Amino acid sequence: MAEAPVVGATLDLMASDLTVIVLAAGGGTRMKSKTAKVLHEIGGRSMVGHVLAAVGALEPSQVVAVVGHQREQVGPHIQALMPDAILAVQDDQQGTGHAVRIAVEAAGTSSGTVLVVYGDTPLLSGDSLRDFAQEHEAAQSAVSVLSGVVDEPFGYGRVVRNDEGDVESIVEERDATPQQRDIREIGSGIFAFDAEFLVDVLPRIGNDNAKGEYYLTDAVGLARETGLTVTAFPIDDVAQTQGANDRVQLAILGRELNQRIVERWMRDGVTVMDPATTWIEADVQLATDVILLPGTHLLGATVVGEDAVIGPDTSLKDCEVGAGARVVRAHGELAVVGDGAKVGPYASLRPGTELGSGGKVGTFVETKNAQIGAGAKVPHLSYVGDADIGEGSNIGAGTIFANYDGTHKHHTSVGKGAKTGANNTFVAPVTIGDGAMTGGGAVVRRDVPPGNLAVSGGPQRNLDRRMPRDQDQTSVGDATTDEGES
Position 122 pLDDT exceeds 50: yes
Spatial separation of the C-alpha atoms in residues 379 and 397, rounded to whole Å? 7
State the sign of the Cα–Cα–Cα–Cα dihedral 36, 37, 42, 45: negative
Q: Show the DSSP H helices in 126-238 as ranges.
A: 126-139, 178-181, 195-201, 218-225
Q: What's the burial of 99, exposed, middle or buried (CB within 10 Å: 0-12/13-18/19+)?
A: buried
* Residue 126 confidence class, pLDDT cut points 50, 70, 90: very high
Looking at residue 472, its pLDDT comes to 54
For the packed helices 47-56 and 126-139, what is the interaxial angle rounded to 10 degrees?
50
Looking at residue 43, what is its pLDDT? 97
Residue type, 478: D
CA atoms of 47 and 251, how far apart (whole Å) = 12
Based on the residue annotation, tell me whether 380 is a catalytic residue of this protein. yes
Q: Tens digit of pLDDT for each residue in 389-435?
A: 999 999 999 999 999 999 999 999 999 999 999 999 999 999 999 99
pTM to 2 decimal places: 0.88
Can you tell me the mean pLDDT for 299-316? 98
Q: Report the residue count for the chain.
A: 486
Catalytic residue chosen out of the listed positions 380, 408, 410, 411? 380
113-123 mean pLDDT: 97
